[in-house]
Structure 1
Amino acid sequence: MSSPPAITIATRESRLALWQARHVQSLLEARGHAVTLLGMTTLGDQILDRTLSKVGGKGLFVKELEHALADGRADIAVHSLKDVPMELPEGFALACVMEREDPRDAWVSPHAAGLADLPQGAVVGTSSLRRVVLLREALATLGRADVRIEPLRGNLDTRLRKLDEGQYQGIVLAAAGLKRLGLGDRIRAVFEPTQSLPAAGQGALGIEVRADRADLIEALRPLAHQATWLRVAAERAVSRAMGGSCSMPLAAHAEWVGERLWLRTAWGEPEGAATLVRAEDTASVASLDEAEALGARVAAALRAAGAHAPHGEA
């Protein structure tokens, strides 16, 4: 009987990315694989003075890792799934989606318990156009036109440092990243999906491989969590149908209600009216094809209600 294949994991070098890679490493080692890490700095990590939507989107976080897979320096890449483009390049495959951590957004602030408690003229930081449009709607509902929303780039530790230095009075982060790094005590409050609908794939880890590596696809099968994979497949299908990228102010979140998948979406204009366009639907889902069909239907409903792709994208 042959021994399990040795595996090299390509990973970004941020603390969160390394935690995620080491988590996968430990699971694979427990199954008998010899696993090493290949740490890399991506273009997305290097460009910190502009918003992602202006420099090419979240795909900037995965391109260098894909190059390492293509030339054989690494065998798999571990990603935060919300950073993975909706369409993978030819020759690559998403081999595994792991069980989801908390998918919600988190409110982090040293002084304000929530948006309503912010001081006059406060600055709130976020790295996401989705969060911008959700925050704008929430602040408009509160009558808080005085609060400014400003870009916030950098890894998790950098964002927290900027908050602690007083550059922002509050910031919105993914709860999953904070919890994975043992920073859950920094969370002042979590936004329920009714308050801040999460991004497609938020809180889930995806493992990418070369499509021709059937041995790795088989080796990763035990790490997959099918209930999560179906949820994020529906979410990502919405984003794909809408031309989704980092320049898309789109939220998509699916939850199981019994045997049915409930998919909710929201879309907004970053510079337009604060009111969001919303669409939702439920379906009995047992396969990735059925999950993606649900996503396509909800995307069509969003378009019918006025949502559109950015900059003329299909």
Structure 2
Amino acid sequence: MSKVIRIGTRDSELALWQAHTVQKKLNDLGYKTEIIAVKSDGDIILDKPLYELGITGIFTKTLDVAMINGKVDIAVHSMKDVPTALPQGIIQAAVLERANTLDILVHKGNFDFLNENGTIASGSLRRKAQWLNKYPTHLVEDLRGNVNTRMQKLKDNNWNGAIFAAAGLERINLKPSEFIDLDWMIPAPAQGAMLVVAMQDDEYVLDAVGQLNHLETEIATYIERQFLRTLEGGCTAPIGAIAKYNEKDDTMYFKGALFSLDGKQKFEVEKTVPLIEWKKLGFFAAKEILEKGGAQLMEELRSQLKK
């Protein structure tokens, strides 16, 4: 059997880059492909913060519907945008090798404001909370839109800087020279990784896409998303997580944190375990945070984000 694999994607420059990357990998394996771009609600509604839209998976919902309706065979996503619970009938088909996991601050050639009062921009509750935790006197403005739109808004406003995922800017050659690596900021779970999903009963597509899977990235992102899921935080909650494999001693390192919206509360956990214990690492790390007081903070966050 041979069929054209229809690749569903959002129509932003970054999303199309990701789709074309998957397309090339499949073509190199001998598969026929076609890219079908759709616009998601997350790209269209730019005047509200994500959490006010009331749903998780806003950047994936449109593609989920297209796949269930048989309009596309697979969908390519930035994995950090994907809810931890996939819709019925849709499964994780491959996680591609991870890129840069860091957040970066893009500034305007001067970062003296870090030592005084400043204004930066970000549409992420996680980034905002961590920034305010470190710089409590600063203001953080909301910043929405695709990468290109956000870069333009930074130029057009008098903000001192804006926070971006390094991987996104690097993939489409938009990373400027005026930036700082925020190596102290814990990234979003699965940041820097690309996910391909497919219908669970499509054996032809699953066999094809499965060949693109990168095991080390799959394990690391599983741990991070397990941490997120156990905390019961949606994609927009102020939760950071990073897992890394250490080949030298065959261990798995994990660091995760939960923040209040204003950054004043922080619950953090850091663990290193033998690789054989990776399957429950995210779960136990999250339970530790919940028992430290994170459970009460999660209740407060749910109440605040519903308003």
Match of 1:228 in 2: 217
Equivalent residue of 2:20, what SS?
Answer: helix
Q: Distance in 1 between matches of 2:96 and 2:178?
A: 24
Match of 2:293 in 1: 306
Asked if the contact 1:175/1:187 (under 8 Å) is kept, the reply is no
Scaled by the length of structure 1, what TM-score is found? Answer: 0.90
Structure 1 residue 257: deviation in Å? 2.0
Q: Distance in 2 between matches of 1:218 and 1:115?
A: 52
Identity %: 32
Asked if the contact 2:244/2:252 (under 8 Å) is kept, the reply is yes
Q: Distance in 1 between matches of 2:22 and 2:131?
A: 34
* 2:266 corresponds to which of 276, 291, 294: 276
Asked if the contact 1:133/1:276 (under 8 Å) is kept, the reply is no
* 2:238 corresponds to which of 243, 249, 255: 249
Matches within 5 A, 1:1-314: 2-3=1-2, 5-113=3-111, 116=114, 120=117, 122-140=118-136, 145=137, 147-186=138-177, 188-192=179-183, 195-258=184-247, 259-271=250-262, 274-285=264-275, 291-308=278-295, 309=298, 310-311=301-302
1:65 and 1:114, CA in 2 relative to 1: closer, same or farther beyond 3 A? farther
Equivalent residue of 1:267, what SS?
Answer: strand
Equivalent residue of 1:90, what SS?
Answer: coil
Asked if the contact 2:100/2:167 (under 8 Å) is kept, the reply is yes
Q: Distance in 1 between matches of 2:202 and 2:87?
A: 15
Structure 1 residue 187: deviation in Å? 5.2
Equivalent residue of 2:135, what SS?
Answer: helix
| AA in 1 matched with 2:282 | G
Scaled by the length of structure 2, what TM-score is found? Answer: 0.92
Structure 1 residue 32: deviation in Å? 1.0
Asked if the contact 1:11/1:78 (under 8 Å) is kept, the reply is yes
1:56 and 1:186, CA in 2 relative to 1: closer, same or farther beyond 3 A? farther
1:125 and 1:262, CA in 2 relative to 1: closer, same or farther beyond 3 A? same
| AA in 1 matched with 2:125 | L
Q: Distance in 1 between matches of 2:98 and 2:17?
A: 15
1:187 and 1:213, CA in 2 relative to 1: closer, same or farther beyond 3 A? farther
Q: Distance in 2 between matches of 1:154 and 1:285?
A: 38
1:19 and 1:115, CA in 2 relative to 1: closer, same or farther beyond 3 A? farther
Structure 1 residue 274: deviation in Å? 1.8
Asked if the contact 1:129/1:249 (under 8 Å) is kept, the reply is yes
Q: Distance in 1 between matches of 2:186 and 2:281?
A: 18
Structure 1 residue 83: deviation in Å? 0.2
| AA in 1 matched with 2:42 | G
| AA in 2 matched with 1:177 | G
Equivalent residue of 1:183, what SS?
Answer: coil
Structure 1 residue 184: deviation in Å? 2.6
How many positions carry a matched residue from both structures?
Answer: 298
Asked if the contact 1:129/1:246 (under 8 Å) is kept, the reply is no
Unaligned stretches of 5+ in structure 1?
A: none
Structure 1 residue 167: deviation in Å? 4.1
Structure 1 residue 58: deviation in Å? 4.6
Asked if the contact 1:99/1:224 (under 8 Å) is kept, the reply is yes
1:157 and 1:301, CA in 2 relative to 1: closer, same or farther beyond 3 A? same
Q: Which segment is superposed worse, 202-211 or 274-283?
A: 274-283
Q: Distance in 1 between matches of 2:17 and 2:149?
A: 16
Q: Distance in 2 between matches of 1:34 and 1:156?
A: 30
| AA in 2 matched with 1:60 | I
Structure 1 residue 150: deviation in Å? 1.1
Q: Distance in 1 between matches of 2:193 and 2:112?
A: 26
Q: Distance in 2 between matches of 1:186 and 1:199?
A: 24
Q: Distance in 2 between matches of 1:270 and 1:228?
A: 29
| AA in 2 matched with 1:135 | W
Q: Distance in 1 between matches of 2:98 and 2:199?
A: 23
Structure 1 residue 111: deviation in Å? 2.7
RMSD between superposed Cα atoms in Å: 1.8
Equivalent residue of 1:22, what SS?
Answer: helix
Asked if the contact 1:44/1:58 (under 8 Å) is kept, the reply is no
Structure 1 residue 276: deviation in Å? 1.4
| AA in 2 matched with 1:219 | A
Unaligned stretches of 5+ in structure 2?
A: none
Asked if the contact 2:7/2:19 (under 8 Å) is kept, the reply is yes
Q: Distance in 2 between matches of 1:34 and 1:115?
A: 52
